[in-house]
């Protein structure tokens, strides 16, 4: 098992990177002010303005990650409907990978459990046989971007083109004749989403799926820690955010115990419905 505890948290890393990138516009505005104001008035303004802009942008990008951020009426699925009963939906992002997907499928099959795989278009193109195996196992497959890059700063046109391309690749790999009818679920890469992105997905007939339970397995903690973070907290209706990574097998190693713990509490893992919520 590979465990690297010193890796930076990718979510925090992206928030910082995006903040720095978009601060460029603020710097240009400050440069304009500098030309217009005498230096003694400009200096304090530059310091406070810079902090406010950086803080505001950081808060904005952090909000795009939270499943609780309102999206102006655009539907976002975070939980299973109450009528689904005593079930949870485990979801695995970032695959498929030859080192992890077959092993996850074996563990799920051994526990008579089903899950949803949010796959990256590029990975699906490289490993179409794995997408077929996911579907053949009775699991759901959704889109996790064409590439594993955040889509929140893309134009709606670019995002739509990426989503269409990813859907086409995934449907082809799975052997579905009609991509639009068969691939209906979307989880934005890194979980970063905006109302524009979710609305763009909805126009293509895609349901954007977040989560209600995040054990933060992207932190590269031990398998025991992943299990502990879920064990006491799992509730009926939860959609659980998990990842498959060939370089870090903690989630894969935790899965048998996570499924046992869920069964002990009368909860079964099911694939997300692909025909809408």
Residue 78: partners with Cβ closer than 8 Å, 6 or more residues away: 67, 209, 210, 211, 212, 239
Give the CB-nearest residue to Zn ion. Answer: 93
Of the listed pieces 9-17, 89-97, 175-183, 253-261, which binds Zn ion according to CB under 5 A? 89-97
CA–CA separation, 50 and 69 (whole Å): 25
What's the closest the beta carbon of residue 214 comes to Zn ion, in angstroms?
Answer: 12
Minimum Å distance from CB 83 to Zn ion?
Answer: 29
Q: How far is the CB of 264 from Zn ion (least distance, A)?
A: 29
For position 238 contacting Zn ion by CB under 5 A, the verdict is no
Site size with Zn ion, rule: CB under 5 A:
2
Give the residue numbers marked as catalytic.
93, 243
- Cα 176 from Cα 171, distance rounded (Å): 5
Interaction of residue 214 with Zn ion, rule CB under 5 A:
no
Binding of residue 94 to Zn ion (CB under 5 A)? yes
CA 188 – CA 219 distance, rounded (Å): 19
Cα–Cα distance for residue pair 58/12, rounded to 1 Å: 9
Choice between 94 and 214, CB closer to Zn ion = 94
Q: Nearest distance from residue 256's CB to Zn ion, in Å?
A: 23
Q: What is the DSSP string of 145-200?
A: -SSSS--TTS-HHHHHHHHHHHHHHHHHHHT-S-HHHH--EE--GGG---HHHHHH
Q: Do 179 and 206 meet the contact criterion of CB atoms below 8 Å apart?
A: no
Measured on CA atoms in the order 173, 178, 180, 186, is the torsion positive or negative?
Answer: negative
53 or 101: CB nearest Zn ion: 101
Our CB check for Zn ion shows the closer of 174 and 241 to be 241
Q: From the list 93, 162, 217, 244, which residue makes contact with Zn ion (rule: CB under 5 A)? A: 93
Range 130-169, binding Zn ion (CB under 5 A): none
Of 94 and 162, CB closest to Zn ion: 94
Strand, helix or coil for residue 6:
coil
Sole window of 4-12, 91-99, 109-117, 212-220 interacting with Zn ion (rule: CB under 5 A): 91-99
Contact at 8 Å (CB) between 56 and 236? no
Binding to Zn ion in span 42-61, by CB under 5 A = none
Helix 101-110, helix 128-136: angle, nearest 10: 10
Q: Minimal distance in Å, beta carbon 87 to Zn ion?
A: 24
Residues in the chain: 277
197 versus 267: smaller Cβ distance to Zn ion:
197
Residues engaged in binding Zn ion (CB under 5 A): 93-94
């Amino acid at each position: 098992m590979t465990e690297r505890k010193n890796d930076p948290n990718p979510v925090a890393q992206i928030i910082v990177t995006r903040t720095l990138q978009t601060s460029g516009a603020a710097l240009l505005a400050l440069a304009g002010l500098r030309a217009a104001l005498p230096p003694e008035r400009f200096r304090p303004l530059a310091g406070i303005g810079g902090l406010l802009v950086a803080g505001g942008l950081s808060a904005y990008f952090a909000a795009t990650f939270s499943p609780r951020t309102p999206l102006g009426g655009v539907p976002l699925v975070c939980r299973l409907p109450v009528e689904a009963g005593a079930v949870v939906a485990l979801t695995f992002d970032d695959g498929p990978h030859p080192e992890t997907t077959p092993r996850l499928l074996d563990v799920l099959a051994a526990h008579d459990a089903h899950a949803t795989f949010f796959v990256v278009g590029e990975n699906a193109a490289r490993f179409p046989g794995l997408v077929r195996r996911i579907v053949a196992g009775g699991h759901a497959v959704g889109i996790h971007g064409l590439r594993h890059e955040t889509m929140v700063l893309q134009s709606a046109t670019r995002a739509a083109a990426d989503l269409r391309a990813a859907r086409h690749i995934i449907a082809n790999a799975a052997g579905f004749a009609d991509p639009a009818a068969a691939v209906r679920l979307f989880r934005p890469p890194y979980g970063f989403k905006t109302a524009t992105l979710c609305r763009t997905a909805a126009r293509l007939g895609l349901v954007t799926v977040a989560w209600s339970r995040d054990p933060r397995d992207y932190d590269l903690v031990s398998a025991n820690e992943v299990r502990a973070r879920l064990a006491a907290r799992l509730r009926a209706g939860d959609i659980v955010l998990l990842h498959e990574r060939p370089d870090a097998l903690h989630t894969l190693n935790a899965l048998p115990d996570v499924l046992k713990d869920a069964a002990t509490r009368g909860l079964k893992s099911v694939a997300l419905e692909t025909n809408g919520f």
